[in-house]
């Protein structure tokens, strides 16, 4: 009976099996068709497939499981993984993606997908791995994946807050990377429910902020915590020490303050500690010495103080040690680095360290980068720096210290060196010829020392050099022609030395040159159209934007006409004081006129007229042709230049009336005007003053890349000085030593941002306008050697910043105003005015003169408070941002007023300017 039953069952199975197989096959085929349709929909949404990967491979002619990037499961024959990373694809994600119901891994990283993810994306409940990094996805962060372990959305444009409740749907999450997005939330408290988290990377969202919650210590499985590049504030929580499995802690570039917590000593597995660019204070805690697995210690740009901690020598696995830009002081311990055999990068720059460079440092055989700049290190540069044990060194930066002595020739042993900066020290002697052994060197910077002797010809061996800066030394001899071998050179600055001989035409080989400065030497050359002229050879330098050969008195010749045909994108051209004669060629206006910003031809023997083609130079900011032999009327057409801020025509033979030639020309951004020592006549140009908008109100300017050297004469002081400035520049008007006559227009009193006004040595008549009391920022006023009459307006006592006053040799009468700045001027300010009386003169005023003065002061009293406010506002707008100032004093001795003014403004304004730059 049993056998009969078994036979019947077997027979039934044989009869039903074909139907079961067919049914299973139909179901499997249907499901794989669903996956195929979903992927074909994705293909249809891809608008760019430059490698044609999907176009040629994703075809119904082959099984979907054989498509590129597709992986199918062996059990269900369904798509379980999709990897399209780094295929340069562009497109969006269709809703059909949600039909890949067996998908466990999705990798679309490093493409150009964009747009938000469809709602159906959350149907992929089997997903364990999602990597959408390095795309342009936006919208909400996807969640509701109960099996998800890895989620990377790095470098997209997801924005808004991170929902706290999303982590309730991600119970198995281990890796979460949201760095480089536009998220703006605090760290959500729901995150701390993900007990399996091993990696949190929220870096560089910029707008994430708030206090770091102490609950961070609950995530005891964490191995990596990156929160840098955000706006987290407050202190580092003590509970950070509970993360015993942590291997990397990066809290850099945030707003954290306070001390580094001692609990950090618990993180004994830590390999990377980066707390840089914060406001951390106090000393470096000795507990860091317990982190024996530490490989990178990065604490730069904080406010840490005290000596270098000796416990650093315990960290024998250290490869990167960066404490730069803090307030560390004292000497570098001699044995600090002897137990750091793996050290590759050391940066202690920007501190207050003193003493010698420890010799033990040169035993670090794997050291690649040594940065000790901007400290107070002294003594000689040790010859041990060239030890063969330092053969791995690629960067050596010792600039801005107190080092002295010679450059040791052993430095030529550092054959892997790529960056060498010894600038701003007190090094003497010659540049060793062994410098030519540094065949891998890319940047060589030794300016502002006391080096002498010739520039070694071996410099031509360093053919990878891109930057060579040796300015401000005492180098002699010729520029070696081998410098033309440096065909990769982009920056060459040999200015302010004592170099002699011909300027080599091999400079024309430097076709990638951006900046060439050989000014302030004793070099010789003849400017001409000849191919033997160095200037002609520069036509090959198609990248040149800065060219200065100024103040080389042995240069002569003329500016050749081809100067206007050059294709180089010159922005700065300074050929001042070079004995150049002839005319400025009219073709100069064709010299890439949309680029030229600075044109300095002062101190030469140029003649004729200014070429009208200069009107094409729409970006011109500074035009300086002082001290030449030009004979021309006022170039009113320069008012068409929309960015012109400095116009220096001093000491030429410009003539005629300015008033008659100013029709429909603006000069609205002009801030420095020097027309002194010419032959201008007629009335002072009222329309010209009315157009000087930049001296009436603040005018926004683009930041200038170059520093501008400008000569300025303020008559009465008999002073001439050179100033290198960044914008905004010194605001002044100098019309002295001309033939102007008539009254001073009252509109001059509207130039409230003016710092210096010089109208001396003319034939001006009439009274001093009371409107001068509105020149709130004025610091120097010179009206001497005219025919001015009447009283000195009492309104001038409102000029609270006035430090120089010259009324010499006029016909002024009556009492000298009293109060405020006028009480500081001595009788020398008023000499040659026999009708003046009162303090500080010995001549007393009559009673009727005093009563008239009192009435004038009473009439002016109600405006004092308002003028004071205007003065305070105006003074902050047009002051000097100087980099370096040279004073040349003439007959009247040192101008202490100017020294005090410049020093004060350098302290207040430069610090403010650099602060804005860092922001």
CA distance 384 to 414: 11
pLDDT in tens, 197-229: 999 999 999 889 999 999 999 999 999 999 999
Beta pairing class for 352-355 and 605-608: unpaired
Q: What pLDDT, on a 0 to 100 scale, did the predictor assign at position 365? A: 87
From the list 215, 263, 258, the residue with the least C-alpha distance to 233 is 258
Q: Is 473 helix (H, G, I), strand (E, B) or coil?
A: coil
Cβ–Cβ under 8 Å, residues 244 and 219: no
CA distance 782 to 830: 11
Among 515-529, 680-694, 730-744, 857-871, which is the least confidently predicted range? 857-871
- Looking at the predicted structure, is the pLDDT value of residue 853 above 80? no
- When pLDDT is cut at 50, 70 and 90, the band that residue 592 belongs to is low
Q: Is 293 helix (H, G, I), strand (E, B) or coil?
A: coil
CA distance 598 to 643: 11
- Looking at the predicted structure, is the pLDDT value of residue 58 above 60? yes
Among 370-379, 547-556, 558-567, which is the least confidently predicted range? 558-567
Report which of residues 810 and 358 the model is more confident about: 810
- When pLDDT is cut at 50, 70 and 90, the band that residue 593 belongs to is low
Q: What pLDDT, on a 0 to 100 scale, did the predictor assign at position 919? A: 39
3-state DSSP helix/strand/coil percent for the chain, to nearest 5? 25, 25, 50
Mean pLDDT of 368-395: 87
Q: What pLDDT, on a 0 to 100 scale, did the predictor assign at position 897? A: 36
- When pLDDT is cut at 50, 70 and 90, the band that residue 30 belongs to is low
- When pLDDT is cut at 50, 70 and 90, the band that residue 10 belongs to is low
Name the percent of the chain lying above pLDDT 90.
66
Q: What pLDDT, on a 0 to 100 scale, did the predictor assign at position 716? A: 40
Q: What pLDDT, on a 0 to 100 scale, did the predictor assign at position 704? A: 47
CA distance 503 to 549: 10
| Tokens linked to 612 | 């009208």
CA distance 768 to 759: 11
- Looking at the predicted structure, is the pLDDT value of residue 708 above 80? no
DSSP 909: I
Please state the three-class secondary structure of 341-355 as a single string: CCCCEEECCCCEEEE
Q: What pLDDT, on a 0 to 100 scale, did the predictor assign at position 865? A: 35
Among 29-33, 302-306, 660-664, which is the least confidently predicted range? 660-664
Cis peptide upstream of residue 840 (ω within 30 degrees of 0): yes
Q: What pLDDT, on a 0 to 100 scale, did the predictor assign at position 338? A: 86
Name the percent of the chain lying above pLDDT 70.
83
- When pLDDT is cut at 50, 70 and 90, the band that residue 873 belongs to is very low
- Looking at the predicted structure, is the pLDDT value of residue 624 above 60? yes
- Residue found under tokens 């050391």: 346
CA distance 601 to 563: 14
Q: What pLDDT, on a 0 to 100 scale, did the predictor assign at position 663? A: 55
Cβ–Cβ under 8 Å, residues 456 and 438: no
Mean pLDDT of 107-133: 96
- Looking at the predicted structure, is the pLDDT value of residue 765 above 50? yes
Sign of the four-CA dihedral 173, 174, 180, 185: positive
| Most trustworthy range by pLDDT among 542-551, 592-601, 845-854 | 542-551
Phi and psi dihedrals of 389, rounded to 5?
A: -70, -15
Q: What pLDDT, on a 0 to 100 scale, did the predictor assign at position 537? A: 83
Q: What pLDDT, on a 0 to 100 scale, did the predictor assign at position 491? A: 94
Mean pLDDT for all residues in the chain: 85
Torsion of CA 541, 543, 545, 549, to 10 degrees: -20
CA distance 679 to 688: 18
| Tokens linked to 107 | 């990798």
- Looking at the predicted structure, is the pLDDT value of residue 83 above 80? yes
Report which of residues 911 and 366 the model is more confident about: 366
Among 254-268, 654-668, 685-699, which is the least confidently predicted range? 654-668
Q: What pLDDT, on a 0 to 100 scale, did the predictor assign at position 206? A: 80
| Tokens linked to 127 | 């997903």
Q: Give every strand in the sheet of 522-527, ordered side by side.
A: 500-502, 522-527, 554-558, 580-582, 605-608, 629-630
| Tokens linked to 627 | 């001290």
pLDDT in tens, 635-672: 999 999 999 999 999 999 999 999 766 656 689 999 99
- Looking at the predicted structure, is the pLDDT value of residue 607 above 50? yes
| Tokens linked to 450 | 């006391």
- Looking at the predicted structure, is the pLDDT value of residue 20 above 50? no
- Looking at the predicted structure, is the pLDDT value of residue 822 above 90? no
């Amino acid at each position: 009976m049993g056998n009969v039953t078994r036979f019947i069952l077997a027979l039934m199975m044989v009869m039903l099996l074909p139907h079961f197989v067919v049914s299973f096959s139909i179901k499997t085929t249907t499901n794989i068709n669903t996956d195929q349709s979903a992927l074909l929909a994705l293909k249809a949404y891809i608008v760019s497939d430059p490698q044609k990967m999907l176009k040629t491979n994703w075809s119904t002619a082959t099984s979907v499981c054989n498509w590129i990037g597709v992986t199918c499961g062996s059990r269900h024959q369904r798509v379980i993984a999709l990897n399209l990373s780094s295929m340069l694809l562009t497109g969006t994600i269709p809703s059909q993606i949600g039909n890949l119901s067996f998908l466990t891994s999705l990798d679309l990283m490093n493409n150009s997908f964009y747009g938000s993810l469809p709602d159906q994306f959350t149907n992929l409940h089997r997903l364990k791995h999602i990597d959408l990094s390095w795309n342009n996805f936006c919208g909400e962060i996807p969640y509701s994946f109960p099996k998800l372990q890895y989620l990377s959305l790095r470098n997209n444009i997801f924005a808004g807050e991170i929902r706290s409740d999303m982590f309730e749907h991600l119970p198995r999450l281990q890796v979460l990377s949201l760095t480089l997005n536009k998220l703006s939330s605090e760290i959500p408290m729901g995150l701390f429910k993900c007990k399996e988290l091993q990696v949190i990377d929220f870096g560089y969202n910029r707008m994430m902020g708030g206090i770091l919650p102490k609950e961070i210590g609950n995530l005891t499985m964490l191995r990596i915590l990156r929160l840098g590049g955000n706006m987290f504030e407050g202190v580092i929580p003590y509970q950070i020490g509970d993360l015993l499995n942590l291997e990397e802690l990066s809290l850099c570039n945030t707003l954290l303050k306070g001390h580094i917590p001692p609990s950090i000593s618990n993180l004994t597995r830590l390999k990377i500690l980066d707390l840089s660019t914060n406001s951390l204070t106090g000393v470096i805690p000795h507990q860091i010495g317990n982190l024996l697995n530490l490989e990178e210690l990065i604490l730069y740009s904080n406010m840490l103080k005290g000596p270098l901690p000796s416990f650093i020598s315990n960290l024998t696995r250290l490869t990167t040690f960066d404490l730069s830009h803090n307030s560390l002081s004292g000497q570098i311990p001699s044995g600090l680095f002897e137990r750091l055999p793996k050290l590759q990068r050391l940066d202690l720059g920007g501190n207050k360290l003193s003493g010698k460079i420890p010799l033990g440092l040169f035993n670090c055989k794997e050291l690649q980068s040594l940065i000790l700049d901007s400290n107070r290190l002294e003594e000689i540069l040790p010859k041990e720096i060239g030890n063969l044990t330092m053969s791995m060194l690629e960067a050596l930066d010792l600039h801005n210290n107190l080092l002295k002595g010679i450059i040791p020739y052993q430095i030529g042993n550092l054959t892997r060196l790529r960056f060498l900066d010894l600038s701003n020290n007190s090094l003497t002697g010659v540049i060793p010829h062994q410098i030519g052994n540094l065949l891998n060197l890319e940047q060589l910077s030794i300016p502002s020392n006391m080096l002498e002797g010739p520039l070694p010809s071996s410099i031509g061996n360093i053919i990878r050099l891109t930057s060579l800066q040796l300015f401000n030394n005492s180098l002699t001899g010729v520029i070696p022609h081998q410098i033309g071998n440096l065909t990769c050179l982009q920056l060459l600055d040999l200015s302010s030395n004592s170099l002699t001989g011909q300027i080599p035409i091999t400079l024309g080989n430097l076709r990638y040159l951006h900046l060439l400065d050989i000014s302030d030497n004793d070099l010789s050359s003849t400017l001409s159209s000849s191919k033997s002229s160095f200037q002609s050879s520069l036509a090959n330098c198609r990248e040149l934007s800065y060219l200065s050969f100024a103040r080389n008195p042995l240069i002569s010749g003329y500016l050749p006409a081809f100067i206007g045909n050059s294709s180089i994108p010159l922005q700065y051209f300074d050929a001042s004081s070079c004995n150049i004669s002839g005319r400025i060629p009219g073709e100069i206006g064709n010299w890439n006129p949309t680029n030229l910003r600075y044109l300095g031809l002062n101190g030469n023997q140029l003649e004729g007229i200014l070429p009208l083609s200069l009107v094409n130079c729409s970006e011109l900011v500074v035009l300086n042709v002082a001290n030449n032999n030009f004979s021309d009327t006022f170039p009113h057409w320069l008012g068409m230049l929309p960015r012109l801020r400095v116009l220096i025509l001093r000491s030429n033979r410009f003539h005629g009336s300015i008033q008659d030639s100013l029709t429909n020309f603006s000069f609205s951004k002009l801030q420095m005007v020097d027309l002194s020592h010419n032959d201008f006549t007629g009335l002072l140009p009222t329309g010209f003053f009315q157009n000087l908008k930049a001296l009436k109100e603040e005018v926004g300017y683009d930041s200038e890349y170059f520093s501008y050297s400008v000569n300025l004469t303020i008559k009465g002081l008999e002073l001439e000085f050179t100033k290198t400035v960044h914008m905004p520049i010194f605001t002044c008007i100098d019309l002295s030593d001309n033939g102007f006559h008539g009254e001073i227009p009252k509109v001059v009193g509207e130039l409230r941002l003016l710092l210096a006004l010089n109208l001396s040595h003319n034939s001006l008549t009439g009274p001093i306008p009371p409107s001068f009391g509105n020149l709130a920022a004025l610091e120097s006023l010179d009206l001497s050697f005219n025919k001015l009459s009447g009283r000195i307006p009492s309104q001038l006592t409102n000029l609270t910043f006035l430090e120089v006053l010259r009324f010499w040799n006029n016909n002024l009468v009556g009492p000298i105003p009293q109060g405020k700045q006028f009480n500081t001027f001595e009788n020398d300010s008023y000499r040659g005015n026999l009708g003046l009386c009162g303090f500080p003169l010995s001549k007393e005023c009559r009673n009727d003169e005093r009563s008239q003065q009192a009435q004038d002061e009473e009439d002016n009293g109600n405006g004092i408070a308002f003028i004071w406010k205007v003065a305070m506002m105006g003074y902050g707008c047009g002051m000097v941002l100087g980099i370096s100032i040279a004073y040349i004093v003439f007959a009247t001795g040192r101008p202490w007023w100017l020294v005090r003014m410049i020093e004060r403004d350098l302290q207040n304004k430069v610090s403010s300017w650099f602060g804005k730059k860092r922001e």
